[in-house]
Chain A
Amino acid sequence: MNKGLKSGLVLLVLGVISGTLLALVNSFTSPLIAKIEAAAQYEALKEFFYDVEDPNYDTFIFTEDYGLVKLEVDEPGVEAIFIIKTKGTDNIEALGYLAYAYGNDSDVPITMLIVVESDMYITGYTVVSHKETPGWGAAILDNNFGVTTLIDLTGFDSVAGSTLTSDAIEECFVIVAARASDDFGGGLDD
């Protein structure tokens, strides 16, 4: 048999073994990872809706007055939408977007939870997952990006030294801004 073909076959066999091994490891780590990611989303939501200490958020104790529905969305840029409705009615009080973006030329996504009210006012936002440089890049977690409404994103304030991540975060706001008004206007029913 041709020598090159034999070497190629060796590489193929190695690839198959590697793939099998990875599938095996993935089979027991993926349920745990899914649980961890769900917990991170829940923690992020709690930041906005369980903050009973803050009088500004008194109206968002949705355990008593509001209901929450998670809508899985299979669209580029949006992973899921949390619909917060007044209990017993169809009124949407706020929408929480689990949006993701990559930033310029980056292949590592940033996931954000951005909560918006029907007047496009941003209730709050938080970074759910990121892959920034340890220490320095983690500054994005508690940063105020200077945006309060989806109608005007021109005031977006990047973090110096974390350009790609800042770009990705700005992209998340743009993605949410592009669809929020439609969603409040009945777009979610489709």
Chain B
Amino acid sequence: MTNTENLFKGFVKENPLFVSVLGMCPALAVSTSLENALGMGIGVFFVLVLSNLIISLIMSNEKLAKLVKPVRIPVYIVVIATLVTIVEMVMHAFLTPLYNSLGVFIPLIVVNCIILGRAEAFAASNKPLDSVLDGMGMALGFTGALAIIAVFREFLGAGTITIWGSLSLELTGVFDFIGITPIAMFVQPAGAFLSFGLILAAITAIGNKRTEKLAKGAIK
């Protein structure tokens, strides 16, 4: 696989959220606003890239890999937990509103399936550069997917899109024009599942159409 393929496969083809359906719990919980989604994305990016790099460095050394192999899962967890704790402490000190807003889902990055999944499935058997690119691609794909769900939910549920801090788009005019009020359910837990289902259905439909077109083209 080329470097470009390693980087971009996480965006659409192997998107962790929409294709592999991994890391659902934090994704649904924090996608109440775009700001939360971006904050979680930054945290996951830092942890995923560095954990992939460290694990790949450990496993690419033959002698070290032999020693680590029987205890590789505890090793992965120690690495990931350390990185997540650093993210938590730094966020608490420098990005307090975001830290308060993301709440318990920052420490829960430790048990995010995407991070452990990439460590075991990719970083453990690939070179450090490839692993870093894979981590970057997966994290950006995850952040993009989170942002799509967040924009969908926040717009329909509150009529706004909070970009960062006090910077937000006020879109209640759209609802006024139609003559309805924002549907608060979309920023609640049930709305998270509904939004995710609708977006996933739309993506699957587009994918199926594309496959159909490609198949028709191949037959001709």
Say if the beta carbon of B125 comes within 8 Å of chain A.
no
In the complex the two chains form, is B33's CB within 8 Å of A10's CB?
no
Measured CA separation A21–B29 after assembly (Å): 30
Interface size on A, as a range, is 20 to 34
A150 to B99 CA separation, bound complex (whole angstroms): 32
Q: Map CB proximity to A onto B76-120 as digits: 1 under 8 Å, 0 otherwise.
A: 001101100110011011101000111111000000000000000
* CB-based contact A134/B86 at 8 Å: no
A13-39 toward B: CB 8 Å interface, digit per residue (1/0)? 011001001100110111011001000
Query: Which residues of B are found within 8 Å of A18, using beta-carbon distances?
Result: 78-79, 81-82
Check A25–B89 contact: CB distance below 8 A. yes
Contact between chains at B68 and A134 (CB < 8 Å): no
A179 contacts B by Cβ under 8 Å: no
Q: Which residue of B lies closest to A138 (CB)?
A: B101
- Is the beta-carbon distance between A108 and B104 smaller than 8 angstroms? yes
**How near does chain B come to A66, taking the closest CB pair, in angstroms?**
29
* Residue pair B101, A134 in contact (C-beta under 8 Å): yes
| Between-chain CB contacts (< 8 Å), 12 pairs | A10-B64, A14-B78, A15-B78, A21-B82, A25-B90, A26-B89, A36-B92, A133-B29, A134-B102, A135-B187, A136-B32, A161-B189
Query: Which B residues are in CB contact (< 8 Å) with A130?
Result: 100, 103
Q: Does A71 contact B (CB under 8 A)?
A: no
Indicate whether B36 reaches chain A with its CB closer than 8 angstroms.
yes
Could you say which residues of chain B place their CB within 8 Å of the CB of A89?
A: none
Q: How large is the interface on B (under 10, 10 to 19, 20 to 34, 35 or more residues)?
A: 20 to 34
Any A CB within 8 A of the CB of B179: no
**Residues of A contacting B85 with CB < 8 Å?**
22, 25
Interface membership of chain A positions 64-87, coded 1 if the CB is closer than 8 angstroms to chain B and 0 otherwise: 000000000000000000000000
A26-B89, A29-B93 given; 14 more Cβ-contact pairs under 8 Å: A3-B67, A18-B79, A18-B81, A21-B86, A22-B82, A36-B92, A131-B104, A132-B104, A133-B103, A133-B189, A135-B188, A136-B32, A161-B188, A161-B189
Contact B94 A11 (CB under 8 A): no
CA distance A135 to B101 in the complex (A): 8
Q: Is B165 an interface position by the 8 A CB rule? A: no
Other-chain residue from A3, A36, A131, A161 in contact with B96 (beta carbon distance below 8 A): A36
- Contact yes or no, B103 A137, CB < 8 A: yes
A36, B105: Cβ atoms closer than 8 Å: no
Q: Which residues does A use to contact B, with CB under 8 Å?
A: 3-4, 6-8, 10-11, 14-15, 18, 21-22, 25-26, 28-30, 32-33, 36, 108, 129-138, 161
A-B complex: 9 closest residue pairs judged by Cβ atoms: A135-B32, A32-B93, A18-B82, A29-B93, A131-B103, A29-B89, A131-B104, A7-B71, A10-B67
Task: Please give, as numbers and ranges, the residues of chain B lying within 8 Å of A21 by CB-CB distance.
Answer: 82, 86
Query: Please, which residue of chain A has its CB at the minimum distance from the CB of B189?
Result: A136
Name the one of B70, B74, B79, B92 contacting A29, with C-beta atoms under 8 angstroms.
B92
Chain B hits for A14, CB < 8 A: 75, 78-79
Q: Shortest distance in angstroms between A45's beta carbon and chain B's nearest beta carbon? A: 18
**What separation, in Å, do the CA atoms of A26 and B90 have in the docked complex?**
9
**Min CB gap B168→A, angstroms:** 14
Which of A6, A14, A15, A30 has the most chain B CB atoms inside 10 A of its CB? A14
CB-based contact A132/B187 at 8 Å: no
Residues from chain A with a CB closer than 8 A to the CB of B70 are 3-4, 7
A52 CB, nearest partner CB in chain B, Å: 26
